[in-house]
Structure 1
Amino acid sequence: MSDWYRDFANSGFGTTITKQLGLPRPAVLRRYEPGEPLLPGPVVIGSAGEGRLREPLTQLLHAAGIHVQSPVTADGATDGEKPAAVILDATGLRTPGDLSSAHDFLAPAIKRLRPSGRVLLLADPPADADSPAQAAARQALDGLVRSIGKELLNGSTANLLYVAPGAEGALASPVRFFLSGRSAYVDGQVVTVTAAGVPEGEDDETPLAGKVAVVTGAARGIGAAIAKVMARDGAHVVAVDIPAAGDKLAEVANEIGGTALQLDITADDAPQRLIEHLRERHGGVDVVVHNAGITRDKLLVNMDAARWNSVMAVNLQAQLDITQALLDADGVLKPDARIVCVSSQSGIAGNRGQTNYAASKAGVIGMVRAWAPQFAERGATINAVAPGFIVTEMTAKMPFGTREVGSRINSLQQGGLPVDVAETIAWLAQPGSAGVNGQTVRVCGQSMLGA
């Protein structure tokens, strides 16, 4: 869907008017297209202290055909063109005093960052620090990166990876994601990467080749976008939705060469029916995306039990029941499986009139966090994505003022697209994302609402 204000602000006349009136000018974001390079320009890498990741980062980028520049000097000079990404290896931080070196590198480098650029910080987890001072220095990067994200212009983003010792081998997939156009609407996020076995030789174009992926709520909107991106990345998609959405579901499945399965996920026999389908038709499942969700909004004091219970049943209880059944079923859920659950910004920040919805989506985050150790024991992962304001047919029906405010109150000054959610889910579903487990990644353009 077109963003009328963004398109106007980036037109010749609109650019003049917005400058004169001091109005924001949302950028046209760099989104992923198959076959395009990881970045449209060089990368500059700097260190805070004696970092341990600079060499593996340089090797990773060289393998992707990316030129790595010399660090930017205080006067803004580099060894070439403006960088498309700025990376800081902050694994050498020992005290808050060391943060001055982060400033010294980042300030001139970011000043020269090209539009839709990427700023990526990497550090050791604060929980693994040897002293309170070291923990403070590492945690300081959290506030630093979120603030950088709110200062960047022209569609650029800033994110932080906490990389546990021994997790260097699991670093490639997260780094590629946050540098690429796949993360266009992911900004100001903090993700922890832990040590994990990662297969070698993963195809960047079709990382899900040979995988079977289930996507619930796949008939329309974000669910349909997820199904299409997963299929684009090589997966055979089992698209699931209620029988009432059967025609739309069949259209999606036919378009991507997948399988349509009409199923009410809240039915008592839904987990078993899904398991039987996966066992008999596909020999098991590699990826499950719990996307299906509903809203039944009302102020808490006016909300009846039916509204409360229906939202809990679809948004939370069905995810619990299906996931537990897959864990219990012998040989259906592959040992290195990926479960991705759709939460919401409302589950983090809350929202007036959505106590049932916000509670259910916060519950998803708690479920993911609690299950992560059990999944890790199997070599599998479970994560969540929390979308913010995503432009869909549903949001298009909102009152004009409400829709405009909702889409602008983020660092990128625009609403996201269903494909932005789908790209993040597809990344978490990749075999190379084995080091990301129990995490919740917001896809919200760094919304001003919530943490």
Structure 2
Amino acid sequence: MSDPYGAFVRTPAGKFLASRAGLPRPPRLRRYVADEEWAFDPAAVLGLRGAVWVDDVSGWLREGGFAVERDAERLSTLVLDATGLRSVTDLGELLTVSASFRRTRGRVLVVAAVPGELDDPEARAVQQGVDGFVRSLAKEARGGTTVNLVRVAAGARTSLRSAVEFFCSTRSAFVDGQPIVVGPGVPVPSRERPVAAVTGAAQGIGAAIADVLARTGHHVVCVDIAASGEKLAAVANRVKGSTLHLDVTAETAPRTLATHLADRFDGADVVVHNAGITRDRSFVNVDEEAWNSVLAVNLLAPVRLTTELLDHPGALAPGARFVYLSSINGLAGAKGQTNYATSKAGLVGLVQALAEPLAQRGLAANAVAPGFIETPMTAAMPPVPRELGRRIASLQQGGLPIDVAEAVGWLAQRDAAGIDGQVLRVCGQSLLGA
């Protein structure tokens, strides 16, 4: 769905009126477009006191096609290495990057330590303080610039590179003000054409996820109900994948999916639990059908499917990764969505519970929590709540299905093996929730 207001304020007349009236002026976001070359300004990598990663990050950006020029007049990317900050006095180092931040229009990434790995109370407090710095800086950024935080655990070099490349790229256009922890996961060599199964793939976010996974070389098994067969076939044909008609709530669904993946593909490398429904109404008006149907599709089905895939011989390839579609409404709650928020919060709990046992098997599970995304579901909202949903974010607009799909595509990569048990919000730094 289009954003008429956002389009209007980008016109000369709209820009003038919005400026005079003090109205929101959502910037045009620079997203990834296949085969399209962007003219990037240089990147700068600044090391604060005790920096560790300056040389590595600079090298990765150069290999990615960036010119790394610390004193360039305009910057498209700014990376701050704050891993060595240990005292309250050290936090003053953050002030030294003010001029560079002012010159940046694009991506700002702060690299920091994991507070829980530090024994000294002051050092731990200082590193936690960086979180508040990043979230506040993201709210001050202009022109579609995003600010994010990557915390580096011991031994996380390979996965850190993957995170740097994602957060400094156009693929992270709607990820803003978010922290993520990178651990030392060991990547498993990928197959020549890895296999990804995506539930709810017939339309919207699921179809966009199929597109991105196909773009990154996956054979996509597009899973959805038989009633969506025509749309599902269109998606599968577009991505040169295959279809599986499946009601994820059916008693036989777990065994059907597991057998299909094991027998036809020697296991899935990626499983994306995207299928979801809403039955919105105030809690006092929620009946048993509305409650049970949402919980069955959004939470019980992923639990049952995951359990069977983990137990069924050959259903998963070595190093397989699970990605679950949660929601910021599961993190912050939402009026009229007690059933939906319960189910989406439950997926976060599932990811957290799976992280350690899956890591012991060389597998991983993460969640993506979208904010307001322009989909048929949000298009059906009343006009005022819909407009509020767009504007209550630092980027002052709704995201697109491709924004969610890009995050899923990153978490599906084998070189993101150190990302495990994480919840990545794709919300333009929505003011709702943490």
- Give the TM-score, by structure 2 length: 0.97
Structure 1 stretch displaced more, 37-46 or 319-328: 37-46
Secondary structure, aligned partner of 1:69? coil
Name the SS of the counterpart of 1:442 in structure 2: strand
Among 97, 100, 115, the residue aligned to 1:109: 100
Q: RMSD between aligned alpha carbons?
A: 1.5
Deviation at 1:42, TM superposition (A): 1.1
CA offsets 1:257-290 (integer angstroms, 9 cap, x no match): 1111110111111010111111222121110000
Letter in 2 for 1:109: S
Structure-to-structure mapping, 1:4-83, within 5 angstroms: 4-36=4-36, 40-70=40-70, 78=71, 80-83=72-75
Q: For 1:367-394, what per-residue CA distance to the aligned partner results, in whole angstroms no more than 9, with x for missing partners? A: 0011001111122210000001000112
Whole-angstrom CA distance in 2 between matches of 1:49 and 1:447: 31
CA distance in 1, matches of 2:212, 2:63: 25
- The match for 2:309 among 319, 326, 335 is 326
Describe the shift of the 1:365–1:39 C-alpha distance in structure 2 as closer, same or farther (beyond 3 A). Answer: farther
Q: Secondary structure at the match of 1:436?
A: coil
SS at match of 1:246: helix
Partner of 2:318 in structure 1?
335
In the alignment, what sits opposite 1:145?
134
The equivalent position to 1:214 in structure 2, one of 186, 194, 197, is 197
Please state how far the C-alpha of 1:401 moved relative to its aligned partner.
1.4
- Residue 158 of structure 2 contacts residue 415 of structure 2 at CA under 8 Å; is this kept in 1? no
- Equivalent in 93, 103, 125 of residue 85 of structure 2: 93
Task: Compute the TM-score of the two structures, normalised by the length of structure 1.
Answer: 0.94
Question: Are 1:417 and 2:400 an aligned pair?
Answer: yes
Letter in 1 for 2:218: A
SS of match in other structure, 1:61: helix
Identity %: 51
Counterpart position of 1:394: 377
The separation in 1 between residues aligned to 2:157 and 2:51, in whole angstroms, is 12
Range with greater deviation from structure 2 (47-56 or 427-436): 47-56
Return 5+ residue gaps in structure 1 as ranges. 71-77, 203-207
Contact 1:343 1:384 survives alignment (8 Å): yes
Alignment length (residue pairs): 434
* In structure 2, distance between residues paired with 1:209 and 1:111: 44
Q: Distance in 2 between matches of 1:199 and 1:171?
A: 16
C-alpha separation in 1, matches of 2:329 and 2:273:
17
Going from structure 1 to structure 2, the CA distance change for 1:209 and 1:235 (only over 3 Å counts) comes to: farther
Q: Which runs of 5+ in 2 are unaligned?
A: none
Q: Is 1:171–2:160 an aligned residue pair?
A: yes
Contact 2:44 2:78 in 1 (8 A): yes
Matched, 1:127 2:116: yes
Distance 2:39 2:254 in 1: 42
Whether the aligned pair in 2 keeps the contact of 1:48 and 1:99 (CA below 8 Å) is no
Aligned pair 1:288/2:271, yes or no?
yes
**Partner Cα separation in structure 1 for residue 322 and residue 338 of structure 2:** 26
One-letter code of the match for 2:31? R
Give the superposition deviation at 1:331: 2.0
The residue number in structure 2 matching 1:263 is 246
| Whole-angstrom CA distance in 2 between matches of 1:317 and 1:38 | 43
